[in-house]
Amino acid sequence: MHPLIVFNGRFNDFTVNCNKIKALLIDRNEIQKIYYNTQNLPLPIKKLDLNGKYVLPGFTDCHTHLISRGLELQRIDLTGGKSLDSCLQKITGEKHKHDIVFAQNYDDSDWSGDEKERLNRRTLDRITKKPLIMRRVCGHCAVVNTSALKCIPRGWHYIQSNTGRLCENAALFLNDIFKPDQATLLKAIGLGMQEAAKNGVTTVHEISDPQRIELLLKFKRCSGLKTRFVLYIYEQHASTMFNAGLVNSWGDDFIRFAGIKIFLDGSIGARTAALKQPYVKCRNRGKVLLTQVPLKNLIKKAEKNGTQLMIHAIGDRAIDFGLKVLKPYIDKKNSCRHRLEHLELLNQRLIERLARMNIIASMQPNFVRRWQNPGGLYEKTLGHRFIDMNPFKSLARAGIHLVFGSDCMPIGPLFGLKGATDHPSAKNRLSLMQALACYTVKPAYAAFEEHHKGDFKPGKFADFVILDQDPEKIDDTDKLNISMVMLGGEIIYRNPA
């Protein structure tokens, strides 16, 4: 692209003098120069007037399944289904479009107990004889009909044949069982990037596998990427990655390998997150999905190779277990910048241990907005414990490096903001600026990218999200809109409104 000057914006990268910035010179995808007045702007260079709009470093979503989200957009979407019957009605109306009927994102949080019991293999058998899969919004559980059950090879665990219920690996990796073809996956990449762009997201910390890395590289060669991908590979592929000699420095400006994703437990909605005390009205405490020896071996290999670990731990029992196993093998600075994902059920002792070990906390305020309000899913499943979940302010106060993502439920920092600023517990609310920093400035450190992203310094990527209003001057962040998104100085999204 040719050099470009963006000016007449209200620039904020959370540094001391950012409010004095009047214009930025962009060339070769990067910020080349900052101007603190507009009188000396070079005349021959093309200029973009931002008309006083609010400019932030591009949003980073620190926990995505963007390609999987692109697949969802080609399947039956059950988002907003208020009952089992409404979901089944939608599937019935769209099943003729698919050879394998894949319906995703049902949320049974507000369904009656009877409806939850009725969601089983036999109910789905009455809908179609084609393979039919209904996967919950969390991805940690699904229900399939008899035809789909017969397609699952031996060797998969957490399968209840009598009910058709799948949990954890069998539900999480359904795309490895019912494999989409390459054309569908390539289309998914494009659809996922479109959704990221319109939500202001320029970088994703994407959880993926070797096949999808190859497809990302192919898409980049053929069409170019409109999102920067920082990749975390599922643990079952860890040996492949280590043997290939991949380290954090592998990649380029658009696709970069960062680390290994490990699951220690499940989800609260599926009642498989590992808790110290049982879920409400039962003895179930969820599941720790890895034992100490394989986790220890993964940590040792990661430390030896300088590879970051992204460790999924939602329940307090899983978090405690993960920290215990990590502690003997990492240095005081946590030089590999290992991170724990979700961290929903914490207490003060666990927070203090996270701080002492310098573990990065990667969390999802959109979960708070969706499920942590009084009477919501978390109170129904955890009782009084719900109010102190996701203690953002306590983590920030302890000096823990806190970053935010979405898990694509849904993608979009503007949706997640309220979960951080309007937390049901006032003591754990962040200020609006603290929350925005967790989507813009802080993610760069979490992925070893602080030299390329996160602020408006010369040499940093020219990735910006431009909002239509000053967030601090409105009474409701839901009134904020994305006006424009720039990636490397190129406009990749412009609000048509």
CB-based contacts of 328, cutoff 8 Å, min separation 6 = none
Calpha distance 329→303 (Å, rounded): 8
Distances (CA, A) of 206 to 164, 185, 196, 212, 232: 29, 15, 12, 11, 6
Calpha distance 77→66 (Å, rounded): 15
Burial of 126 (0-12, 13-18, 19+ CB in 10 A): exposed
pLDDT of residue 241: 84
pLDDT of residue 135: 97
How do beta strands 101-106 and 76-77 pair?
parallel
User: CA angle 133-135-136, nearest 5°?
Assistant: 155
Tokens 């573990």 locate to 359
pTM across the whole model: 0.96
pLDDT tens readout for residues 283-294: 999 999 999 999
Domains of the chain (ranges plus CATH)?
4-58+458-494 (2.30.40.10), 71-177 (3.10.310.70), 182-446 (3.20.20.140)
Run means of pLDDT, 10 residues per run, the chain, 497 residues: 93 93 96 93 93 97 97 96 96 96 94 88 97 96 96 92 94 94 97 98 96 96 97 93 77 95 96 97 95 96 94 98 97 96 98 98 98 96 97 98 97 96 97 97 97 96 97 92 97 94
Calpha distance 50→78 (Å, rounded): 38
Calpha distance 131→419 (Å, rounded): 37
pLDDT of residue 351: 98
CB-based contacts of 182, cutoff 8 Å, min separation 6 = 215
Start-to-end C-alpha separation, the chain:
26
Three-class SS state of 295: helix
Q: Which helix (H) or strand (E) element contains residue 180?
A: none
Contact indicator for 116, 83 with CB cutoff of 8 Å: no
Nearest to 65 by CA among 166, 145, 174: 174
